[in-house]
Chains A and B, each alone.
Chain A
């Protein structure tokens, strides 16, 4: 069964304290892994797509990496405005739609 597990469920950081969020997945033949950011009461906003192991993408203080079993979202020197829930999703093997993890709620304190 296709599955996406994100950890930790919640993460509290001080401003400037770098850390990583984890997304482990089980899917037959990965065809794409996605990271989204969601602010409270709003729809998710697309961040990155990764397609193959070893691939990396960066955007400002965020860097996403991918291995054959998991993806990491590295946050370097975070700021309070990085506070949000970060969602990971993969393309479901037997179909074509996405299956989402439960998300990691990140809080960055000044």
Chain B
């Protein structure tokens, strides 16, 4: 079955450490995204990638980094510069970025199950 796999599901980080969250998709989607979810807040966009070897900052990119070397993979690194990293992280993908390609549902997001990061 096609889908998005995020790992690990739970992760604990000590202050000053960098950690990397994995996101892999087998849907053959061009676009991938990372969102952060905090209690009482909506999903906030961290980074997104429209195509391999290209990515853009979202609304809250400070303290995070990404890479997109393969179409299937979009890992997120939470660096020590991120002041308050404890949150639920969601990876998503879509057929494309929805810029009027004419494909119905091209920008519908499919989400992974999420990774919960806790700073000790």
Q: How many residues of A contact B (CB 8 A)?
A: 23
Q: How far is the CB of B21 from chain A (nearest CB, A)?
A: 13
**Interfacial chain B residues near A49, Cβ < 8 Å:** 105, 108
Does the CB pair A96–B114 fall under 8 Å? no
Q: Which of B55-109 contact A (CB under 8 A)?
A: 58, 88, 90, 92, 97-99, 105, 107-109
Which one of B45, B90, B98, B116 lies within 8 Å of A44 (CB-CB)? B90
Question: When each residue 17-35 of chain A gets 1 if its CB lies under 8 Å from chain B and 0 otherwise, what string results?
Answer: 0000000000000011010
**Interfacial chain B residues near A41, Cβ < 8 Å:** 88, 114, 116
A53 at the interface (CB under 8 A from B): no
Does the CB pair B107–A100 fall under 8 Å? no
Which residue from chain B places its CB closest to the CB of A92 in the assembled complex? B45
A94 at the interface (CB under 8 A from B): no
Does the CB pair A43–B113 fall under 8 Å? yes
Does the CB pair B108–A46 fall under 8 Å? yes
A93 at the interface (CB under 8 A from B): no
Does the CB pair B99–A96 fall under 8 Å? yes
Does the CB pair A91–B113 fall under 8 Å? no
Question: When each residue 82-109 of chain A gets 1 if its CB lies under 8 Å from chain B and 0 otherwise, what string results?
Answer: 0000010101000011111111000000
Does the CB pair B114–A91 fall under 8 Å? no
A55 at the interface (CB under 8 A from B): no
Which one of A34, A42, A89, A101 lies within 8 Å of B113 (CB-CB)? A42
B110 at the interface (CB under 8 A from A): yes
Question: When each residue 32-46 of chain B gets 1 if its CB lies under 8 Å from chain A and 0 otherwise, what string results?
Answer: 010100001111110
**Interfacial chain B residues near A103, Cβ < 8 Å:** 42
User: Given A42-B113, A46-B110, A91-B98, does the pair A100, B42 have CB atoms closer than 8 Å?
Assistant: yes
A103 to B35, CA, bound (A): 15
Which one of B41, B44, B111 lies within 8 Å of A43 (CB-CB)? B111
A58 at the interface (CB under 8 A from B): no
- Top 8 nearest A-B pairs (CB, nearest first) are A43-B111, A100-B42, A100-B43, A102-B42, A96-B97, A44-B111, A43-B113, A96-B98
Q: Which residues of B contact A (CB under 8 A)?
A: 4, 6, 33, 35, 40-45, 48, 58, 88, 90, 92, 97-99, 105, 107-114, 116
